[in-house]
Amino acid sequence: MTTQDESHSASLPQQAAGAAPTATKRPRVQWFAYLYILPAFLVIGVFHILPVGYAIWISLQSGAVRRFQFTGLDNYIRALNAPEFWSALQTTLFYTLGTVPMTMVLGLGIAYLLFQKIRGRGIYRTIYFMPYIISTVASAIVWAWVFDPRNGLANHALALFGIPAQQWLIEPTGVFKLIGDGLQVSVPSWAEGPSLALVGIMIFAVWQVLGFDVVIFLAGLGNINSELYEAARIDGATGWQLFRYITIPLLAPTTFFILVVSLIFSLQAFNHIYAMNRSAAQQLGGPLGTTRTLSIFMFQALYEQNRAGYASAIAVLLSLMILGLTLVQFRFLGRRSENG
C-alpha cells in the first residue's frame, strides 16, 4: 500500500514548490485511494452487501442450512398465514408505542431541566446515562428480581397503594384487562393491550435507554442560540412560553432524529426481551408468546427450529418495514452531512 502511495506522490512536492499554491488544488486522480478504501469495502461487501441478495435467495428455500431446496414464495405465504407472525407484529408495535414516546417525553423533560444552568449538571448527566452503558443481561437480572412475583419490590410498592400482588414477567394477561378486572369493568378482548410481562420489559427498556435521549436532547438544546431566549425574556415571555415557542420548534431536528432512530431500534427489539425472559425463567417470547417480537420470532425460527429459509423470509418482511423508516433517517443524515 505504501509503495504505490509514495510513487504517486513523489512528483507532488516539486510541483507544489515550483508552481503557485493553487497547483495542489487542481483535481488530480490519486489512484492509490482505492487501496485506502479497499479494506473497508472488503468487509462491508462480504458481510453487509452480499448478504442482502443472499438473504432474499435463502428466503426462497426450505430446509436447514446446507440442505436448501427451492420453494419459491412458500416461506412468505407461510409467515403471512401464521397467527404467530401477526401476534409478533402486534407485540412489536405494542413495544414500540410503549417505549418510544415515553422515553422521549421523559428524556426531553430531564434534558430541559438539566439545561437550566443547574449546579451538578455533570453528575446528573453521568447518572442518567449510566444504565445505557451497563450490559442488558446484568441489568435484566436485577429488574427481573424487582418484578419477582413473591418477593419483588414492584409488588411491595403496589401494596403501599393497596393493589394486590401481580405476576409481572410471568403474567400473559393484557394489562388493560388486569386494570379492568381490578376496577370490575369488563374489557373487550381487542382492547386487552400488551401483557403485563411485556409492560414489565418496557419499563426496564425505558429505564435503560432514557440516558441516550437525555444526552442527545442536551446536545440539541446546546445548539439553540441563547440570545433568542434573552430577547423573548425581555419581551416578557414566561418559562412555559419560552419552552413552547422557542425550544420545541428549534429542537425539531433533534426530536425527529431521536424519533426515527428509536423507532428503528424498537422495531428490532431483542436484547431486552431475551434477557428478561431468561431472568424470569420464561421461554423465549413467553409467557404464552406475549413478548415475542418479530426479531425474537425470527431468531427462534433460525436458532430453535433450524429453519433458515423461514427465518430469512421473516427478516425480509421486518426489513421492509424498517427500510421505510430508515429512508427517512437517511435523508436526514444526508442533510446533516451537507451542513457539516
Partner 1 sequence: MNRDRLRKQIGTLLIHAVLAAGAALVLFPFVWMLLGSVKSYNEATTAGFIPREWLWSNYLDAVTVMNGSVPCQFDAANPLAILNQCLLLRYFFNTVFVGLFVVLGVLTTSVLAGYAFARLNFPGRNLLFGILLMTLMIPFELTLVPNFVFMTWFSTPESWLATTFGLSKEGLHNWINTYYALIVPFTASVFSIFLFRQFFRGIPNELFDAALLDGATHSQFLWSVVLPLSKPALVTSALLTFLGTWNALMWPLLVTNAPQMRPIQVGLAQFIGEAGTQVQLLMAGATLTVLPIMILYLILQRWFVEGISSAGIRG
| Residues 171-230, interacting with partner 1 (CB under 8 A) | 207, 209-212, 215-216, 218-219
User: Is 150 among the residues that bind partner 1 (CB under 8 A)?
Assistant: yes
User: Is 88 among the residues that bind partner 1 (CB under 8 A)?
Assistant: no
Bridge partners (DSSP) of residue 70 are 61
> How wide is the angle at C-alpha 19 spanned by C-alphas 14 and 24, nearest 5°?
80
Distance in Å, CB of 180 to partner 1, minimum: 28
Q: Which residues lie below 8 Å from residue 250, measured CB to CB, with a gap of 6+?
A: 224, 228
**3-class secondary structure, 339:** helix
Distance in Å, CB of 77 to partner 1, minimum: 18
Segment near partner 1 (CB under 8 A), from 75-83, 84-92, 106-114, 244-252?
A: 106-114
Query: What sign results for the dihedral spanned by CA atoms 72, 76, 78, 81?
Result: negative
Site string for partner 1, 289-328 (x = CB under 8 A): ------x--xx--xx----x--xx--xx-xx--xx--xx-
User: Is 36 among the residues that bind partner 1 (CB under 8 A)?
Assistant: yes
Segment near partner 1 (CB under 8 A), from 43-51, 77-85, 87-95, 180-188?
A: 43-51
Segment near partner 1 (CB under 8 A), from 26-34, 86-94, 169-177, 180-188?
A: 26-34
Distance in Å, CB of 290 to partner 1, minimum: 20
Q: Which of 169, 196, 201, 261 binds partner 1 (CB under 8 A)?
A: 261
Based on CB atoms, which residue is closest to partner 1, 58 or 178? 58
Strand blocks (E) in the chain: 61-62, 69-70
Distance in Å, CB of 289 to partner 1, minimum: 19
The number of C-alpha atoms within 13 Å of 321 and in the hemisphere containing its C-beta is 16
Amino acid sitting at position 61 = Q
Q: Which residues lie below 8 Å from residue 275, measured CB to CB, with a gap of 6+?
A: 136, 137, 139, 140, 141
- Burial group, residue 190, by CB count within 10 angstroms (0-12, 13-18, 19+): exposed
Segment near partner 1 (CB under 8 A), from 72-80, 95-103, 122-130, 184-192?
A: 122-130
Distance in Å, CB of 190 to partner 1, minimum: 29
Tracing cell 439545561 back to the chain, one arrives at: 115
